[in-house]
Structure 1
Amino acid sequence: MDANSVTAISATVIAVASLCVSIMETRANRRHHHHSVRPLLAFDCFRRSGQLAGIRVRNCGLGPAIIRSTTFYLDGDEVGPWEKPTVDPLRDTFGKWPDFTSLRRDVPIPVGQEIVLFAVDDYEPARDADLWRAVTHRIRIRVRYGSVYGDERHEAWFEGSPGHEWEPAVAGRHPDQDDHDERH
């Protein structure tokens, strides 16, 4: 083997190695870009006497969450999508008509956005006990969502708080006083 052959083989090996490194770097960049806009939806239920009480969802991720589908369950039975016609019959059963926000298909939830899905604005423990029981024990919501890339499939659940128990009294306060934010 002469010097020209060794040079040609070495150049080919270096070119193929450079191509492999370039492909791996491109894939790593693509993964990084996907992760840099990944949404993360988080649900919770909350209440404060005389203030808002209900269910909310937040996008705690790095990119907008694009809603793909929603499913509303009541007492374990699938009712339909989380939309006004599906939820209104439940809203009719409470002492005060709760506010409602739907999650519509292909509508994004921006980063940092918090949406109150189902709530009363002036929670009163006596009047709204049935609503709070529904929020913590009866209502379940499944949301399927994706990122701006469209090829990712994520899922988030609102599960209420079936194991909800009153916390012990703190600093002389009765546990039924709920002027603090309860998150479940």
Structure 2
Amino acid sequence: MSAELLVAGGATVIALGSLWVSVVQSRSTIRHNRQSVRPLIQVRQVRLKPDRRAGLLAVNAGLGPALVTSTEVYYDGTHLGQWNLSAFHHVFAGAPREPVISALFTGSTLLPGNKTYLLLLDPFDDTTDAWFWEIVANRLRIEIHYESLYGGEDFHAAPPPL
């Protein structure tokens, strides 16, 4: 073997190693960037005594915007479809008073740090509005499916059981 052939072979091995390191670093950077702007929606049952409010609150506690892909509503274990006016009327038919409703439709965006009440009863009284808290805490489940702006993750959030 000639010296030129050994040098050429060594240079090729070094170049391939360098290419491999670049590919690994690039993949790692992409993964890091996706995680650094990951949204994190939390759905909470809220009863605030000083403010006299109660409801179901969606909060984006993550670092990036959340793009809503769908919502699912379950009432007494029965699937009602998406969270919209039809599902709202089904749940609150015959209720003594109607809470304020907010819907997160497909394509809606929840920015980092923002919160929105999916349901809000204001003012709320523990005695006269116990029916509302029973629905929010035990009978109604709203799941939010969402992703980051990168797309394809299919994260989901739902209120924890109380």
Structure 2 spans left out of the alignment, 5+ residues: none
| Structure 1 residue runs without a partner (length 5+) | 162-184
Q: Deviations over 1:104-147 (max 9, x none)?
A: 00111101111111111110112211000001110011111111
- Shift of the alpha carbon at 1:160? 4.5
Question: Contact (CA 8 Å) 1:46, 1:55: kept in 2 or not?
Answer: yes
1:3, distance to aligned residue in structure 2 (A): 1.5
Q: Which amino acid aligns with 1:155?
A: H
Matched with 2:122 is 121
Under a length normalisation based on structure 2, what TM-score does the superposition of the two structures give? Answer: 0.94
**Aligned mates of 1:160, 1:114 — CA distance in 2:** 20
Percent of aligned pairs sharing the same letter: 34
Deviations 1:33-83 (A, max 9, x none): 111111111111111346210110111111111111101110010011111
Partner residue in 1 for 2:110: 109
2-structure distance, mates of 1:153, 1:90: 26
Q: Matches of 1:23 and 1:40 in 2, distance apart?
A: 29
In structure 1, the residue matched to 2:20 is: 20
Give 2:8's aligned residue: 8
**What amino acid is aligned across from residue 101 of structure 2 in structure 1?**
F
Residue 150 of structure 1 aligns with which residue?
A: 151
Asked whether the 8 Å contact 1:58–1:114 carries over to 2, the reply is: yes
SS class of match (1:46): strand
Q: What is the letter of the counterpart of residue 154 of structure 1?
A: F
For 1:133-175, what per-residue CA distance to the aligned partner results, in whole angstroms no more than 9, with x for missing partners? Answer: 00111001111111101121111112442xxxxxxxxxxxxxx
What is residue 55 of structure 2 aligned with on the other side? 54
* Alignment check: 8 A CA contact 1:140 1:159 kept: no
Residue aligning to 1:173: none
Equivalenced residues, count: 161
SS at the partner of 2:158? strand
8 Å Cα contact 1:135-1:160 kept in structure 2: no
Question: 1:78–1:159: structure 2 CA closer, same or farther, 3 Å change rule?
Answer: farther
Other structure's SS at 1:66 match: strand
Does the Cα contact within 8 Å between 1:45 and 1:160 map onto a contact in 2?
Answer: no
**What TM-score, normalized to structure 1?**
0.83
Q: In 2, Cα distance between the equivalents of 1:48 and 1:21? A: 54
